[in-house]
Amino acid sequence: MLNLIRMNFYRMSHSVSTWVILITMVVFMGLTVVTNCVLMKNLVNSDGTMKIESSESITEESTTTENTAEMVAEAYGHKITINSRFQAGVQGGDLLIFLAIFTVIFVHAEEKNGFIKNIACRTKHKWDIFLAKLPVIACYTLVCILLYFVLNTVIMKIWFPHFELGIEAKTFVIFGLELLLYFGYMALCSMLIVVSKNSAIGMTFSLIPIFGIGMIVIKLLNFLIKHDVDLNKYTLIGNLASISTESANSDLVRALIVAVVWFVIWIAISMLTTEKRDVI
């Protein structure tokens, strides 16, 4: 198993797709942060508090700015911090897109080039081939999130030097839960590509929930069930989008349980599929 893990880390570090996805993610997320800073420049004071104009001073030209300021204030409270913008980026789904693409490509690479046939006969269980990829995916996910944190912090400090970092004790709990929910979603992406053995199918169904189509399905199911149950509370994306430092402890516990349960389910399906499949 350790040799397989080392081999996968070597394969990841020497793969062109790994660096292309990473560089593209950094450029895209950096531009996103810069764009947000430009939009917020006229909406916030130097300390992060919102600039809400009085009703007498609102002109036709400033109406859009006023509405945007109110929406931003409602979403992040009346004081924006660097961490609140980081949390918004993590929960927004942009990072998930790049990580889902990497996961699908990385997991399917051995199937695509036939190299899996050379290592399957050397393992006691064929599911070891799949399990050995999980530390690599987890490491890549953590690196991408930390890179985004550094990128967001540096850019926002340049634009807004007086903004507070906004990190408190509960922030680390939220970050840990977000990381677990990310791992759960990467497990889903891995399961889709393992079961389908088709990169197009795996990529498509990995990205669909991120783009909001999954939310539409959940709302339809909620309507059909017609009970006082919100299924969105039991999905990875739903919990990722809803948790914050203001969340109740019960909501955080629910997010933890959802992340662990779905992670175990997707990994179990992938392991069983890999074990039963004839790769020789």
- pLDDT bucket at 113, cuts 50 / 70 / 90: low
pTM above 0.85, yes or no: no
Sequential DSSP letters for 239-277: HHHH--TTS-HHHHHHHHHHHHHHHHHHHHHHHHHHHHS
C-alpha span between 258 and 25 (Å, rounded): 27
* 178 pLDDT higher than 70: yes
Sequential DSSP letters for 125-163: STHHHHHTTHHHHHHHHHHHHHHHHHHHHHHHHHH-TT-
Q: What is the mean pLDDT of the chain?
A: 81
Average pLDDT, integer, range 30-34: 92
Contact (Cβ atoms closer than 8 angstroms) between residue 87 and residue 174 = yes
Average pLDDT, integer, range 218-246: 82
The pLDDT value given to residue 255? 94
Top-ranked range on mean pLDDT: pick from 37-46, 66-75, 119-128? 37-46
Give 22's DSSP letter: H
The pLDDT value given to residue 104? 92
